[in-house]
Amino acid sequence: MVMKKFVFSLNALYEVKKAQKDRLQTELAAAEAIYRAAVERKADLERTLEERKAEFEAKASEGMTVGDLKGYAVYFEEMQERIKAAGREVDRALREANQRRNELVSVFKEIKVLDKLYDKQYGEYLKDMEKDETKAVEDIVSYKVTDNRSG
């Protein structure tokens, strides 16, 4: 008697989903790193702005020229724009990381369903093997009983 080997009928899809999971985990890690870097860049800009404001206030209390005053005004305006742009980049990076995370969660759910189907099919395979084994034993016993009677 030759034992048939268990083959999961959705194995190809399962392998594709595992590869997709691995790819998405890598993409999520990269997206989270980009997000953290964007947050850090924005925080650096905000720190720099606060330092310059303190510097401006110290100089202003001592008195400053109109040219210096205009220079600081232009600088503060440019820094506010850079901080806004950095904020938009933080938001974009967060959306990207969340999208990757959601895709990964979806793939994990699909893999979990495939795991359950695998377990179900494997259980059915084991039942079939047990039936085949029982039938083989019955055939052997039946043959021996028949052989003993004829002999």
Which candidate, 50, 51, 45, places its Cα nearest to that of 82? 45
What's the pLDDT tens digit per position in 91-135? 999 999 999 999 999 999 999 999 999 999 999 999 999 998 898
- Contacting residues for 92 by C-beta, under 8 A, at least 6 apart: 38
| Mean residue pLDDT across the chain | 92
What's the pLDDT tens digit per position in 47-86? 999 999 999 999 888 888 899 999 999 999 999 999 999 9
Per the CB < 8 A criterion, the answer to whether 34 and 100 are in contact is no
What's the pLDDT tens digit per position in 12-52? 999 999 999 999 999 999 999 999 999 999 999 999 999 99
**What is the structure's pLDDT at 3?**
66
Within 10 Å of residue 38's Cβ, how many Cβ atoms? Answer: 21
